[in-house]
A and B are shown apart, each in its own frame.
Chain A
Amino acid sequence: MNKNLLDSGKVLMLLTLFLAAGVSGCNSGTKKASDGNAEEEEFMAVMDDETQQKLQTAKRIFYSLPSPIETAKILHSAGATYDESLLNPIQNQSGYITNLDMALNLGIYTTDLSYASLFDQSQATLSYIEAAKNMADGLNILDAINEETIQRLEDNINNREIIIDIISETLLNSSSYLKERGLESTATIILVGGWVEGLYIATQQVGNDPIENNKIVERIIDQKLSVDFMIKLLKEAEDDPDAGKVLADVQNLKTTFDKIEITLGENTPVVDPETNVTTLKSSSSHNLTKPVFDELVNKITDLRNSYIS
């Protein structure tokens, strides 16, 4: 028999043995040792009690930030109008070289994409998905937005529902890809970029309108509720200099949001027996003043422009 074939066979056998050991090693945490001496079994029994205690008290904590789709949607529902001049120009993308630039502007362009699609702006939708794809490619987020996705978008360019679904799938793919690789900080930065863009569009839409009884202003105030979550997520990644930079930016915004007090009344859940939908009945109020609103507008404008330039 050929000597090389014999050598390969031996290596293959070793490989198989290693694999078997590796797979069983991955599962060993969930199985009790079936063999072994009494001392080891006693240790395992104690360990199981400790493990059980830890499991009972262990708690994983997650924070969900507003996605670009949700941000665009609440603006649309609040009566925002379409103004393409507010969006980040497509031409700017050639200047985004660092991971930070690309992550922020992936979020920004995805918000722009969501906003354009909600207003049935076909050409802008196609332009912004291409820009978002270029940012995702620059960050090596494989298959977040591939050619098939763009083709599907083009084929359904007049179907808002399908377009939004495509955008949500793109976000899901990007987010999961990054989290699977321990790049949660990049995923967070993308969402922060999108959130800032949404706030920018909203504040610009208000313009010189009165801030009282203004639905868009109400949505801007609502964003205060997500700032602390953003800070918690960014602090978890503070070792990442990019996350540290964005954290400082959000903390600066927080100093202005902290001047707005939101008072929430008690929730009373009421279930509709026909639809089985629960309505959380409650009232809320806030104390936003024009000077504070103007301060917020200026900060958001400066921050957003620093991200896109």
Chain B
Amino acid sequence: MRKGILLVSLVALLVSLPTSANAQCKQFAKKICKVGLTPYQHDGNYHAALLIEGEEAELYKTFYSDTDYRIGVCGAGNLSDIEFKIVDSNGKVLYNNRYEDFEWKWDFRLESSQQLKIVVKVPVADGNIEEPAEGCVAIMFGFKDD
């Protein structure tokens, strides 16, 4: 009986390990990235994932005219500076943080409501491809009234 309980506990612990990593990602998004949105109000959406160095992610969102936005793209400390760019529906690059010293946020407003694409890339540190690091990357949005 005791061995049975211990075995079940072991299985539960091993199954919970990935959930634990995701929970840490949520805490990272909430405590680090979300805080940086101030004075913009976080929209409540959750976009965070464990990404490996070299991996890319794209996020599509509709933004509304006459609203002030902040996009925040945060990477966990073990990752290199995260690169992100904003692309409109015609493929035009509107912003690339590579040219802004890998600034983690971008504040903007739009004269016309539209879909934008946020392309995020986790660079490989110093060309090291042998042991790519993995870490949490969060993309968060804030807005505020005119």
Known contacts: A15-B6, A278-B107, A284-B113. The answer to whether A30 contacts B41 by CB under 8 A is: no
Residue of B nearest to A49 (CB): B129
| Residues of chain A lying within 8 A (CB to CB) of residue B115 | 225, 229
| Residues of chain B lying within 8 A (CB to CB) of residue A283 | 111-112
> Shortest Cβ distance from B60 into chain A, in angstroms?
5
| Residues of chain B lying within 8 A (CB to CB) of residue A175 | 44-46
A175 to B132, CA, bound (A): 29
Known contacts: A11-B6, A18-B10, A60-B49. The answer to whether A172 contacts B34 by CB under 8 A is: yes
A266 at the interface (CB under 8 A from B): yes
* Count of interface residues, chain A, beta-carbon cutoff 8 Å: 67
Known contacts: A15-B6, A69-B43, A225-B113. The answer to whether A277 contacts B107 by CB under 8 A is: yes
**Interface flags, B96-124, vs A, CB<8A=1, else 0:** 00000000001111111111000000000
- Are B111 and A282 interface neighbours, CB within 8 A? yes
A219 to B45, CA, bound (A): 20
Residue of B nearest to A59 (CB): B56
A26 at the interface (CB under 8 A from B): yes
Query: A153-167: which have CB < 8 Å to B?
Result: 161, 164-165, 167
Q: Is the interface of A mostly helix, strand, loop or mixed?
A: helix
- Are A22 and B54 interface neighbours, CB within 8 A? no
A18 to B14, CA, bound (A): 9
Known contacts: A31-B131, A172-B30, A172-B44. The answer to whether A60 contacts B112 by CB under 8 A is: no
A226 to B34, CA, bound (A): 23
Query: B19-68: which have CB < 8 Å to A?
Result: 19, 22-23, 26, 29-30, 34, 41-49, 51-62, 64-68
> Shortest Cβ distance from B61 into chain A, in angstroms?
4
A68 to B44, CA, bound (A): 8
Residue of A nearest to B60 (CB): A63
Known: A64-B60, A267-B92, A276-B107. 5 other contacts (CB 8 A): A11-B6, A15-B10, A176-B48, A180-B22, A267-B94
